[in-house]
Amino acid sequence: DARVTQTPRDKVTEMGQEVTMRCQPILGHNTVFWYRQTMMQGLELLAYFRNRAPLDDSGMPKDRFSAEMPDATLATLKIQPSEPRDSAVYFCASGLRGGKSSYNEQFFGPGTRLTVL
Amino acid sequence: RKEVEQDPGPFNVPEGATVAFNCTYSNSASQSFFWYRQDCRKEPKLLMSVYSSGNEDGRFTAQLNRASQYISLLIRDSKLSDSATYLCVVNDPGGYQKVTFGIGTKLQVIP
């Protein structure tokens, strides 16, 4: 049963510290998304990649956030320095255009719950 | 105006009731529409796609009204297990596989 994995599942850190979140997309999926979810804003797209190339990172605060795909099996999202307003659940999702699943269906990982004190 | 708007609820309904959610979208060029379900402290999962002709999956019916730019989800004979947040999702015509999620509508089915 293929699924997206994310680590860590929970992270508590202090303001100013670097945070790195990792995601392993479903093998064979060519699109990877990073979202942030808060009660007030809901799910917001931060960045996404197709075939490891960044397509859009306009939703991401550029001064402190960065997203990369060093290889097809790993996507990373870094926050440096972290701030209390970054506290949220960060989801990674992957998809495959033209695959057996619905066009545009995204498969989500379990999320990383980040708390910045 | 938000790209995708939903009433966040909560909708509290008794078991067996029929409940309907609506969602409006702002970009008339959008072509793909979905409902996702998210359980408490879990990840969103695709519930169903929404086709122009409407579609039904068991107790769930989704419909699209392009003229008024809204989609709907109808749940018949509500079960306790239907309690969740239902997210309306609309594709961004300008972005490859990019979609926008609504804030979600919370449903609580009461015994």
pLDDT tens-digit readout, A62-112: 899 999 999 999 999 999 999 999 999 999 999 987 554 445 689 999 999
User: What per-residue confidence (pLDDT) applies to A101?
Assistant: 46
Whether A2 and chain B come into contact, CB under 8 Å, resolves to: no
Q: Please answer yes or no on whether B43 and A95 come within 8 Å at the CB atom.
A: no
Mean predicted confidence (pLDDT) in A45-57? 92
List of chain B residues whose C-beta atoms are within 8 Å of the C-beta of residue A102: 34, 46, 49
Check pLDDT > 80 for residue B54. Answer: yes
Q: How confident is the model at residue B2 (pLDDT cuts 50, 70, 90)?
A: confident
The pLDDT, as a whole number, for residue B94 is 74
Q: Kindly tell me the burial class for residue A79, based on how many C-beta atoms sit within 10 Å of its own C-beta (0-12, 13-18, 19 or more).
A: buried
The three-state secondary structure class of B85 is strand
Average pLDDT of every residue of chain B: 93
Give the other-Cβ count within 10 Å of B85's Cβ. 23
The predicted structure's pLDDT at residue A102: 47
Q: What is the mean pLDDT of residues B48-54?
A: 87
Residues of B with CB under 8 A from a CB of A: 32, 34, 42-46, 49, 87, 91, 95-104
Q: What is the pLDDT of residues B76-92, one digit of tens each?
A: 999 999 999 999 999 88
CB contact under 8 A, A43 and B44: yes
Going by the DSSP 8-state scheme, the letter that residue B41 receives in this structure is: T
- pLDDT band at B98, cuts 50/70/90? confident
A50 and B44 within 8 Å at the Cβ level: the answer is no
Give per-residue pLDDT as tens, A30-41.
Answer: 899 999 999 999
Instruction: For residue B14, name the pLDDT band (cuts at 50, 70, 90).
Output: very high
Four-residue CA torsion sign, B28, B31, B37, B43: negative
Q: Closest Cα of chain B to A58: distance in Å?
A: 12
Contact between A42 and B102 using a beta-carbon 8 Å cutoff:
yes
